[in-house]
Amino acid sequence: MAFSCSTPQFKTTRISAHLILPLVSPALAAQRAIIPNVVSRATRAYPDYTEFGKRLQELYGASVHAGVSRIGDNQILTLAASGIANRYAFGGEDVQSALAEILESIVFDPLTDADGLFPEDGFKQEKRQLIETIDSEFNEKRIYAKNRCTEIMFSGEAAGVPRFGTRETLKAATREEVKKAWQEAVQHAQICQFAIGDGADSRYAERFADKLGVRETWSDVSNPHPAPQDIKRVTEEMQLAQSKLVMGMQVGTDPEERLTGKLMAAIFGGTASSKLFLNVREKQSLCYYCSARHDTPKSVMFVESGVETANLERAEEAILAELSAMQRGEITDEEILHAKLAMCNSYNAVADSAASIETWYLSGMLQEDPRAPEEFAQRVMDITKEQIVAAANKVKLDTVYQLRGESAANG
């Protein structure tokens, strides 16, 4: 799959390759997560980190980016290169072609040692940095609580596998395993290529296709989260000043109702004029923060809040009361308009950066809905109150995760 967008809005060009792979296990997720930063350190053509950096400087300070993310049931390994647009090069260089060559060498010809493995020093460094990232997410309790609720809610599903694996599986990953994981990824991943910026074209994507050859494809569309049989409740305790409450809900809308589900979530808790913000946080003062976010690929919604431990139960009741009010049709025209305008503003902002354009269309491809954000902005304004209420009535509470502050709980 390839997408190109030529726009003079940016004075740069960004080209990228996203390797889309099914989440299978924490061990395999960890092995794959190490790959992007390892292979983007150097290539066989530029085997030294300094030499690689020098080549990027020759291209007017070009840069290489790597990342790992999760969209629905898929793990995404991202490799990208950015540099100035060709028409701004003083010597008439074809910077975009040079960036494409660098990206191809990263993907197809990464640096290996005499044993055919990734160099040990770079491997150890990148593994250590990933472990530090997991540690930092653990220390940021808002992120940790959301991750725990996600794991619990999606237990037994691909989406329940952490995008980096776990701390333990990262520590256990070997160079042999990571090299094998990389070879399998290049051979079997669905690969989405993007070229975005001034003068961007799809030439490099065609070159990628030639190198990839014909491959067996698999469905990379995520499975919707099934309706809950019972509400899962998990409570953990830590020494905290502020407890965390995360509630996972199955939305149950079909693909044609996704936009209505997103608007419903925005009215519920997605803006500063939402029901959760105004009623639970402001009027009742039950939370330090309280918001809802729609996870479109899995057709679920997460409500996150920071709460005094003594108010955890009251906060949950208040959140569910606001949902019940929506299900009864207690939604004002003003609430609907504010949410629609907020969503339109976010859609209009997609074009503000090459990375956000890329993220939008990649997500759309993985949901089999690659329509432009402008079209979504038009469609959201046509959604009726009756449709919003119908979407709210499909919401079912699935998971309640509490991270309780020990001192307050035991005091």
156 and 254 share one domain: no
Tally of CB atoms within 10 A around 411: 8
Domain finish residue from 212, 241, 256? 212
* pLDDT band per the 50, 70, 90 thresholds, residue 209: low
87 and 195 share one domain: yes
Q: What is the CATH number of the domain that holds 143?
A: 3.30.830.10
123-141 pLDDT, tens digit per residue, is 999 999 999 999 999 999 9
* pLDDT band per the 50, 70, 90 thresholds, residue 216: low
DSSP helix/strand/coil, 156? coil
371 and 245 share one domain: yes
Is 383 a member of any domain? yes
- Enter the tokens of residue 172: 């256990």
Sign of CA dihedral 388, 392, 395, 399: positive
271 and 382 share one domain: yes
Give the phi and the psi of residue 290 in degrees, each rounded to 5. Answer: -160, 115
Helix (H) or strand (E) holding 396: strand 396-405
Residue with the two structure tokens 């035991």:
410
47 and 149 share one domain: yes
Residue 327: give the domain boundaries.
Answer: 232-410
Rounded (10°) angle between helices 385-392 and 333-348: 90
CA distance 395 to 131: 36
Dmax over Cα atoms in the chain, in whole Å?
Answer: 71
249 and 187 share one domain: no
CA distance 274 to 322: 10
How are beta strands 190-197 and 12-22 bridged, if at all? antiparallel
Helix (H) or strand (E) holding 362: helix 354-366
Is 75 in contact with 29 (CB distance < 8 Å)? yes
> Comparing C-alpha atoms, which of 79, 64, 81, 77 is closest to residue 15?
81
250 and 398 share one domain: yes
66 and 208 share one domain: yes
Q: What percent of the chain shows pLDDT beyond 70? A: 95
345-379 pLDDT, tens digit per residue, is 999 999 998 889 999 999 988 888 888 999 999 99
Domain finish residue from 212, 241, 271? 212
| Letter string b/e over residues 116-137, b meaning 16 or more CB atoms within 10 A of that residue's CB | eebbeebbeebbeebbeebeeb
CA angle 205, 106, 72 (to 5 degrees): 70
Is 222 a member of any domain? no
Those residues whose C-beta lies under 8 Å from the C-beta of residue 274, and which sit 6 or more positions away, are: 266, 267, 268, 291, 292, 335, 339
236 and 208 share one domain: no
Is 61 a member of any domain? yes
Is 307 a member of any domain? yes
Give pLDDT, residue 20: 93
306-332 pLDDT, tens digit per residue, is 999 999 999 999 999 999 999 999 999
Is 259 in contact with 343 (CB distance < 8 Å)? no
Give pLDDT, residue 408: 41
> Comparing C-alpha atoms, which of 170, 168, 143 is closest to residue 30?
170
122 and 236 share one domain: no
Written as one string, the DSSP assignment of 340-360 is HHHHHHHHHGGGG-HHHHHHH
Is 175 a member of any domain? yes
Helix (H) or strand (E) holding 6: strand 2-6
192 and 248 share one domain: no
Domain finish residue from 212, 240, 271? 212
181 and 271 share one domain: no
* pLDDT band per the 50, 70, 90 thresholds, residue 409: very low
Is 226 a member of any domain? no
Is 217 a member of any domain? no
Say if residue 169's pLDDT is above 90.
yes
> Comparing C-alpha atoms, which of 359, 341, 243 is closest to residue 297?
359
Total of domains in the chain? 2
DSSP helix/strand/coil, 131? helix
37-68 pLDDT, tens digit per residue, is 999 998 888 888 888 999 999 999 999 999 99
CA distance 180 to 116: 11
Is 128 a member of any domain? yes
